[in-house]
């Protein structure tokens, strides 16, 4: 007999009936053992009882299974598409600042990079001497030979990072040549070269920036497989409101002709992006534990900054700082925090709030003038990519192999330089900090700004 706890209907069987049946089966077993006609009769009766019992059990079990299976099919379909509960393990995403020991990083791709169409927001972020280049090649590939050299340089950079003990991840290769249409605009794509522009890690959260250039509207697609995998392993994943990038987001008459024009407009707080809707690039933020610093720029508006402020409160504070910069776009070649209370500040673009940092006990270091030749093409950036460095830990920095004077500066600060040449990759708009997003740094959340 099945014990009462394992029988499907045990809880519904009357106690007295169960006792009588048990006594009857005991008597039949005794008759079987004694033999004779009564024993044979008893054996036949037991067989008949077992047969009926088994038939009833099988029918009940089948009916129970059938109804359970029918009910489970929609649930099974949901479970197959649902996110499974992550295993109890250390979250693969965690970074609070720019200098804790680097364990994992995303490095961008130069493959298939396209020149962005020469729209008003691109014009506002590039220098006049490069406008003919954009007018000629907008929507087309960057020069093929130059692009091949950039790809090779970034591959070597990845190899050196691995040699330094860092896990390297890459976005998916994409075809950026397709023209796409939204209800508000038409554009071709650009690249997935600068993960710093689109992804920011704050604690165990990946924030996917909404961006402000139409050619970068769908750039997030190259990173989605990586982000989904981090999410499955326990990371938080946030996407702010995606801007429509309609004409209202841009000042269509933004009057740029000379550097002097740019200085005047920036001093007046006028930028090509309006306050029509939130927009920001992640590279306009820089982290120092519980404090993040951000600039209002050509690609980051006050609505975008306010969205981040509210989202990160109360654990983090977002401070707006500004610079004497005729073309503010991305903070990390202007103000790059490289250690606790240690920041590189561009002498050509002085910080208007520098006293705030000095009063807090920070050391503000002015890096030397870049050595990059005037004839080297920098279609999307300035020479100050020399200070756009990547800290591997407080005592190791990845920097440009050609910038000998900045090597000396780091040596004087007691920081070992890991020298890499990415001059052709620089032409696409970024240095080591731009070409990477740090996914995991070994450290804890602290406050460094008082």
Q: Which residues are catalytic?
A: 281, 330, 434
* Strand segments (E) across 170-315: 179-181, 186-188, 199-202, 205-208, 236-238, 285-288, 291-294
d(CA 176, CA 178): 6
C-alpha closest to that of 212 among 105, 309, 296, 110: 296
d(CA 327, CA 314): 32
d(CA 287, CA 201): 9
Buried-state track 320-359, b at ≥16 Cβ within 10 A, e below 16: ebbbebbbbbbbbbbbbbbbbebbbbbeebebeebeebee
> Can you give the length of the chain in residues?
450
C-alpha closest to that of 171 among 119, 256, 109, 95: 109
Q: How far apart are the first and last CA of the chain?
A: 75
* Cβ-based burial of 444 (10 A; exposed 0-12, middle 13-18, buried ≥19): exposed
Residues facing residue 97 across a β-bridge: 288
* Strand segments (E) across 99-253: 102-107, 167-169, 179-181, 186-188, 199-202, 205-208, 236-238
CA pseudo-torsion sign 295, 298, 302, 305:
negative
C-alpha closest to that of 378 among 433, 334, 425: 425
d(CA 119, CA 138): 9
- Give yes or no for a contact between 167 and 159, defined as CB atoms under 8 angstroms apart: no
C-alpha closest to that of 117 among 143, 135, 132, 144: 135
């Amino acid at each position: 007999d099945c014990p009462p706890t394992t029988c499907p209907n045990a809880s519904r069987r009357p106690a007295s009936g169960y006792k009588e049946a048990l006594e009857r089966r005991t008597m039949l077993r005794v008759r079987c053992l004694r033999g004779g006609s009564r024993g044979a009769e008893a054996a036949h009766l037991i067989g008949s009882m077992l047969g009926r019992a088994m038939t009833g059990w099988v029918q009940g079990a089948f009916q129970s299974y059938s109804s359970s299976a029918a009910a489970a099919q929609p649930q099974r379909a949901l479970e197959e598409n649902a996110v499974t509960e992550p295993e109890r393990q250390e979250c693969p995403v965690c970074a609070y600042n720019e200098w804790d020991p680097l364990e994992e990083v995303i490095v961008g791709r130069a493959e298939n990079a396209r020149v962005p169409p020469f729209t008003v927001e691109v014009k506002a972020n590039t220098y006049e001497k490069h406008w003919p280049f954009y007018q000629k090649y907008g929507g087309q590939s960057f020069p093929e030979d130059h692009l091949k050299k950039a790809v090779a340089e970034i591959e070597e950079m990845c190899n050196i990072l691995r040699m330094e003990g860092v896990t390297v991840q890459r976005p998916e290769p994409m075809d950026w040549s397709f023209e796409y249409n939204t209800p508000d605009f038409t554009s071709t794509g650009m690249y997935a070269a600068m993960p710093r522009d689109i992804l920011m890690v704050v604690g165990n959260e990946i924030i996917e920036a909404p961006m402000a250039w139409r050619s970068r509207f769908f750039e997030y697609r190259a990173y989605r497989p990586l982000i989904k995998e981090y999410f499955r392993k326990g990371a938080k994943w946030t996407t702010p409101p995606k801007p429509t990038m309609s004409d209202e987001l841009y000042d269509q008459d933004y009057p740029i002709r000379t550097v002097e024009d740019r200085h005047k407009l920036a001093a007046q707080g006028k930028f090509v992006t309006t306050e029509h809707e939130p927009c920001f690039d992640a590279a306009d933020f820089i982290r120092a534990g519980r404090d993040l610093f951000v600039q209002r720029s050509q690609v980051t508006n006050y609505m975008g900054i306010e969205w981040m402020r509210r989202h990160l409160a109360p654990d983090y504070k977002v401070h707006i700082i500004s610079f004497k910069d005729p073309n503010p776009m991305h903070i990390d070649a202007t103000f790059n925090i490289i250690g606790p209370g240690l920041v590189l500040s561009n002498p050509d673009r002085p910080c208007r709030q520098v006293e705030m940092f000095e009063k807090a006990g920070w050391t503000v270091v002015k890096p030397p003038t870049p050595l990059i030749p005037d004839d080297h093409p920098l279609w999307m950036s300035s020479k100050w990519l020399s200070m756009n460095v990547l800290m591997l830990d407080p005592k190791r920095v990845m920097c440009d192999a050609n910038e000998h004077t900045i090597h000396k500066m780091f040596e004087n600060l007691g920081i070992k330089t890991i020298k890499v040449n990415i001059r052709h990759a620089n032409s696409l708009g970024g240095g080591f900090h731009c070409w990477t997003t740090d996914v995991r740094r070994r450290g804890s959340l602290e406050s460094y700004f008082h």
